[in-house]
Structure 1
């Protein structure tokens, strides 16, 4: 794995539920890729090979338009290192573990 991206797609539609429906189609496509990904409140982070990730970015734009959006704005962050990048768990794992511990204590 030599790259990770954070992708936010913003379909040019006005209704919240329409936005959610279109974004859900993009996330379903990402899931079908088989790559490790995490959906966040503002963006989805995906790990993999740079070329494969850039193809996902490109196809995500087309998915939004095919789903009915007249256009789409996207924000993409790319981390690329040929020798390998930090994983999602490297970056956020300790926070997820702390959250799970708090939730377990509250049960």
Structure 2
């Protein structure tokens, strides 16, 4: 399958002072997978194979629970087209 873009917003249900540390753990994991990604102020966008990215999303939920979250709210956006889609084609003119 061609590359797709998947944006993931994680909202961990923890005390406010723990939100960023939990999100940081998820971002560290994403970085360790080797996929192309960009962190934004509201979500992290990744580029790669859909199945692989969905596995990353699943693991992100597990990381949050391991970090003490009683609940994890996540929002996922997927941009798919048969010939593939890249982050660069969408934002290159802004760089």
Q: State which structure, 1 or 2, has the greater radius of gyration over its C-alpha atoms.
A: 1
Residues 7-45 of structure 1: per-residue CA shift (max 9 Å, x gap): 000001131x30000000000000001011000000000
Q: TM-score, normalised by structure 2?
A: 0.93
- Number of residue pairs aligned between Structure 1 and Structure 2: 94
Q: Higher relative contact order by CA 8 Å / sep ≥ 6: 1 or 2?
A: 2
Structure 2: stretches of 5+ with no match in the other structure: none
Structure 1: stretches of 5+ with no match in the other structure: 97-107
Structure showing the higher helix proportion among its residues: 1
Partner Cα distance (2:27, 2:36) in 1? 12
Partner Cα distance (2:78, 2:57) in 1? 11
Q: TM-score, normalised by structure 1?
A: 0.83
Deviation >4 Å, runs of 4+: none
RMSD over aligned CA atoms reads 1.1
Deviation (angstroms), 1:83: 2.1
